[in-house]
Amino acid sequence: MARLRIGLIGWGTVGSALGRLVVAGPLPVDLACLAVRDPRRERSVSLPDGVPFVAPQEVATADLDAVVELAGGLGEPLVWANTVLRRGVALVTANKALLANHGIELARIAREHGTALLASASVGGGVPMIETVTHLAATGGIARLRGVLNATTTYILTAMGDGRTYGEALREAQQAGYAEADPAFDVDGQDAAQKLSILASLAWNSWRGEDDVSSHGIRGLQVAEGRVVRLVAEATEERLSIGPADLEPDDALSRTTGVENVLEIEVRAAGTFRVSGPGAGGRVTAGAVYADLARLVAGDRPILFGSLA
């Protein structure tokens, strides 16, 4: 079996966990080069010895079998993705912003140039949400998607249900490492909206970008003590929405805690399917990226949104 030579852009929590998997895991994968945006920044996990350290654009143009992009965001990552795919090199990414805004055009480029676009880790972390929705969409008409897709807001809303104010719960989440210093991406619903747009595009085989999602976050929300509120993502073929919802105790979404994500998929004439598990964390998210690499090693060349392209 030929070894897969990959370049990696990003050495944060997920990137460093993937690096350890590549070294210790069973797949014939070699980390050929590595790039980060700021090489001078202190890191909890040191950059690996013996791996050439280059600029991100050099990874995008290197002689490789696949590029793994874990830097996140738009702008430069879109340039890298275009460069990689137009060269016929496979792209593996966890970048939900990139996919929710440019996924359809990247799929077309991948198809035109005979390469692969994989992104299992972009939604649900270690939970196979993309795979499950894709499978169920192929076997029966999906009527509705409904889930909790953001761990930061779950942590905050749980604390508020226990009696803390929004400000107190946010500070607690930041101290625990569940929320960024600037929490807007999570608390305003943008993270969940990007994930929902990806899932909805797959569920109904029709492109739904981030702008198609009606989003209402939890900033400044008041939760009565003892109530269970979650930031709920919901989609039908006609409407996509993100917003806080007051849930009953017997609702499966009300039982989410910590970094758990859950997705309910209602299939016409077949009932409701549910997938859940850790939606964040370096090891579990890196595991989803590693699973994508396993597909490339096996000779698969899937294209996310390929049927739309």
141 and 208 housed in the same domain? yes
Assess if residue 304 is contained within a domain. Answer: no
Note whether 272 and 289 are same-domain residues.
Answer: no
Residues 184 and 205 in one domain: yes
- What gap in Å lies between CA 161 and CA 244, rounded to an integer? 13
Is there a single domain that holds both residue 64 and residue 83? yes
pLDDT in tens, 128-166: 999 999 999 998 799 999 999 999 999 999 999 999 999
| Residues with a known catalytic role | 195
pLDDT band at 10 (very low <50, low <70, confident <90, very high): very high
Q: What domain range includes position 194?
A: 129-278
Residues 12 and 93 in one domain: yes
Number of domains in the chain: 2
Q: What is the pLDDT of residue 43?
A: 59
Is position 79 within any domain?
Answer: yes
Same domain for 272 and 133? Answer: yes
- Under 8 Å between Cβ of 82 and 109: yes
Q: pLDDT tens digit string along 43-60?
A: 556 667 788 889 999 999
pTM over 0.85: yes
Query: Is 307 inside a domain boundary?
Result: no
- Mean pLDDT over the full length of the chain: 94
Q: Do 118 and 143 fall into the same domain?
A: no
**Domain holding 109: CATH number?**
3.40.50.720
Q: Is 309 a member of any domain?
A: no
What is the enclosing helix (H) or strand (E) of 59?
helix 56-61
C-alpha of 190 from chain center: 12
Q: 2 pLDDT band (50/70/90 cuts)?
A: confident
Does 179 lie in the same domain as 68? no
225 contacts: CB under 8 Å, gap ≥ 6: 161, 162, 163
Q: Note whether residue 271 is domain-resident.
A: yes
What pairs with residue 82 in β-bridges? Answer: none
Task: Mark whether 77 and 203 lie in a shared domain.
Answer: no
Q: What is the CATH number of the domain that holds 215?
A: 3.30.360.10
Cα gap 43→47, rounded to integer Å: 8
- Per-residue pLDDT of 193-224, as tens digits, reads 999 999 999 999 999 999 999 999 999 899 99
**Position 142 in a domain:** yes
User: Could you tell me the pLDDT band of residue 306, with boundaries at 50, 70 and 90?
Assistant: very high
Asked whether residue 306 is assigned to any structural domain, the reply reads: no
CB 56 within 8 A of CB 83: no
